[in-house]
Amino acid sequence: MHQFEKLKIWQKAIDITVDVYKVTSELPSDEKFNLTHQIKKCAVSIPSNIAEGSGRNSNNEFAHFLGIANGSTYELITQLIISKRLNLLDEEKVSPIINELVEVSNMNFALQKSLKKQ
C-alpha cells in the first residue's frame, strides 16, 4: 500500500483539478450540466483513481487504477480542446492545463512501469 498524499503525481493531479474548477467557472451557464459537469468529473477522477489504486492490495491493482486515471487524463484533454475550439475557454487558460495533464500522463506511465518491475 502506498501513501497517495506523498505521490507527486497525485499532488499534481489535485492541483490540476483545482485549476479546472477555476477555469470552468467561466463556462456559460447553459453548459453547466453538459460539458462543465463532464470536465469536472474527469478532473476529479484522475487523483481519485490514483488514491484508490494506491490503497489496493497489489501493485497490479494499483497499475490498473493508474490506467483508469490515464484514461480520464486523455478524456479531460479532449474536453478542454473541445471547449477551446468552441471558443468557450481561452487558449491561454486551457494550454497550461493541457501541458500539466501531459506531464501527469508521462508520470503515470513511468509509475505503472515501475510497479510492474516490482
**pLDDT one-digit tens code per residue, 54-66:** 999 899 999 999 9
CA atoms within a 13 Å half-sphere pointing along the CA-CB vector of 80:
30
Q: What's the pLDDT score for residue 28?
A: 85
Distance of alpha carbon 51 from alpha carbon 30, whole angstroms: 32
Q: What's the pLDDT score for residue 2?
A: 74
Q: Taking the model in full, what pTM does it have? A: 0.94
Q: Are 108 and 51 spatial neighbours (Cβ–Cβ below 8 Å)? A: no
Per-residue pLDDT reduced to its tens digit, 33-86: 789 999 999 999 999 999 999 999 899 999 999 999 999 999 999 999 999 999
Distance of alpha carbon 41 from alpha carbon 37, whole angstroms: 6
Distance of alpha carbon 66 from alpha carbon 81, whole angstroms: 23
Q: Are 39 and 72 spatial neighbours (Cβ–Cβ below 8 Å)? A: no
| pLDDT > 90 fraction of the chain, expressed in percent and rounded | 86
Q: Are 72 and 105 spatial neighbours (Cβ–Cβ below 8 Å)? A: no
DSSP annotation of 27 reads S
Work out the average pLDDT over 21-35: 88
Q: What's the pLDDT score for residue 1?
A: 61
Domains of the chain, each with CATH number or no CATH:
4-117 (1.20.1440.60)
| Size of the chain, expressed as the number of residues it contains | 118
Distance of alpha carbon 14 from alpha carbon 29, whole angstroms: 24
